[in-house]
Amino acid sequence: MPATIVERAIADYQNGRWADAELACADVLRRDPSNPDALQILGNIRARSGDTRAAEPLLERARDIAPGNIFVLNSLGGVYAANGRLHEARAALEAALAIDNRFPWALQNLGALLVELGDRAGARRLFERALQFHADHAETIASLADLAEREHRVDEATRLAERAVSVAPALPLAQLVLARLQLRRGDFAEVETAVGRLLRQDNLSAGNRAAALGLLGEALDGLGRYQDAFVSFAAANDIERRLHAQRFAGAASAVSLETIRRLTALVQTADRAAWQNDSVEVDREPVFLVGFPRSGTTLLDQVLASHPDIDLLEERESLVDSVVPLVIAEGALDRWSTLTAQEIGEFRRSYWRRVEAGLGRPCSRPVFVDKLPLNIVLLPLIYRLFPRARIILALRDPRDVVLSCFKNRFALNPAMFQFLSLDTTARYYDAVMLLGETTTTRWPLAVHALRYEDVVGDFRATIGGLLEFLGLGWTDEVANYGETARRRKLSTPSAAQVVKPLYRSSLGKWRHYATELHSVMPILERWVQAFGYESA
């Protein structure tokens, strides 16, 4: 009897009848509490409903009962990945593939994990390997389409997404990729129709629902229906906040509000005269490109990466070896006044080792630029280790920045989690910019600030001034940054925009949402004035 009920539960689950499947699994577990299939189905239902935390113990019980069950291992790997336990996720998925190296779901999930870890080439190899064994595995075809769209291989993405839909018409990922491609073309009405159809599907996971609502918001924005767009963005963020609050709300990190406030207090009170900096052996000095997310740093890094005399590393946490002992650990900030030249030298060498690992080769050009926007939070640490480093500070109208952060889909971490509410976005912006202002005014950092609006308005003069700050001359190659962006396979939310020619339509976008932004305007006004923008 339990076997028959399990078969019915599996059929109900696969056909989107999750409530019926859950009742059937509960019936099985009353008769046989150690049935791994029922535990796995329940775990999958919890995960697809968005409660991946509740899914973990169910799937772990199933694994403990049936350690060689490839389906359980695959599901557990997916849930671990969703909960940020990336090492455990990889181990579970590799254990599944050790049982059957052709199992398409494990190849698919491990490929998705590699995408999250930044190894797109490795992910693509796994996806292609899965298709060698299962040519019509729709989820894998859709994953390749998703990867191609993110890397601006638009024709390939279209072909793959359409192929996936032909195999599985209701597959959410394939439909989302097609909607993103329509959005690239400016087919906003088509996106609204397609996403509306997707949102009516009963089997849509919480994560895919959030992604669909975000795309709907972009389409409505393109159609000039700004109030409706804001409602969609807010709904998408509400889902993401519920999904990830346990993991990220209040999480300790180098960019958490608590860390930002401690660093601000340090800058305000530290006695720099007692520090040992002068005796540190100077090998070379990096340039740090920083700024609040959505302030134009991606555009700047493509421009700079186009210069033949610049090595540029994008979005790598190269300071990570110094962050824990000097920022996060208990008593870390107390160490700053007693750091020896030898200790500073070792932190510097560790930094350069990570840089060269990220580049895949030694730095060989006259200027090295490290682009990670929220390194603005680590400006005090940068000064402590690299007091002669140069800083490029990217600025943009604070109202456009906060709105853009609220609207866009980011890979979540403790900082990006703040963007899921308009109020927390504004408060986080205020704290970050206060730390940046305090550091750059109190400590003698070499800073070149430039506004996104000036880059768009007078590219030659603004970028020429930046290159002069770096000790470099003008080259027409920097104006061809779009080709650089296409080659470099960007992972930021602005990737699809930065491959286009300069455009002004993003300037002053906040005015369309002035009513929705009204509640946070008092927080932002001081920065509007400080950076020379006109008040509302």
Buried b (16+ CB within 10 A) or exposed e, 439-460: bbeebebebeebbbbbbbeebe
Q: What is the pLDDT of residues 453-496, one digit of tens each?
A: 999 999 999 999 999 999 999 999 998 887 765 655 555 555 55
**pLDDT reported for residue 491:** 53
DSSP string, 271-310: -GGGS--TTSPP----EEEE-STTSSHHHHHHHHHTSTTE
Which residues neighbour 491 within 8 Å (Cβ) at sequence distance 6 or greater?
A: 118, 150, 315, 411
For 159, other C-beta atoms within 10 Å of its C-beta total 15
Distance (Å, whole) CA 145 – CA 179: 12
Whether the Cβ atoms of residue 525 and residue 398 lie closer than 8 Å to each other? no
Q: What is the pLDDT of residues 287-320, one digit of tens each?
A: 999 999 999 999 999 999 999 999 999 999 999 9
CA dihedral 372, 375, 376, 377 (to 10 degrees): 150
Helix (H) or strand (E) holding 390: strand 390-395
Whether the Cβ atoms of residue 306 and residue 480 lie closer than 8 Å to each other? yes
Q: Phi and psi (nearest 5°) for 51? A: -100, 70
Higher-pLDDT residue of 494, 391: 391
Q: How many residues does the chain have?
A: 536
Q: What is the pLDDT of residues 319-378, one digit of tens each?
A: 999 999 999 999 999 999 999 989 999 999 999 999 999 999 999 999 999 999 999 999
Q: What is the pLDDT of residues 23-82, one digit of tens each?
A: 988 988 998 899 999 999 999 988 888 788 899 999 999 999 999 999 999 999 999 998
| Token pair recorded at residue 133 | 């064994």
- On average, the pLDDT of the chain sits at 91
Distance (Å, whole) CA 270 – CA 255: 20
pTM of the model: 0.87
Q: What domains can be seen in the chain, in order of their start residue?
A: 2-135 (1.25.40.10), 257-272+283-307+365-530 (3.40.50.300)
Whether the Cβ atoms of residue 236 and residue 217 lie closer than 8 Å to each other? yes
Distance (Å, whole) CA 403 – CA 97: 43
Distance (Å, whole) CA 146 – CA 244: 23
| Token pair recorded at residue 472 | 């470099």
**pLDDT reported for residue 3:** 66
CA distances from 523 to 190, 397, 428, 433, 529 (A): 37, 13, 10, 12, 12
Higher-pLDDT residue of 536, 185: 185
| Token pair recorded at residue 89 | 């996720």
Q: How big is the chain by its Cα radius of gyration, in Å?
A: 25
**pLDDT reported for residue 375:** 97
Question: Token match 């049982």: residue?
Answer: 99
Q: What is the pLDDT of residues 241-257, one digit of tens each?
A: 998 888 888 778 899 99
**pLDDT reported for residue 466:** 97
Q: Phi and psi (nearest 5°) for 384? A: -65, -35
Buried b (16+ CB within 10 A) or exposed e, 324-353: eebbeeeebbeebeebeeebbbebbebbbe
Q: What is the pLDDT of residues 12-37, one digit of tens each?
A: 887 778 888 889 889 889 988 999 99
Distance (Å, whole) CA 505 – CA 484: 22
DSSP string, 447-491: EEEEEHHHHHH-HHHHHHHHHHHTT----GGGGGHHHHHHHHT--
Q: How far apart are the first and last CA of the chain?
A: 70
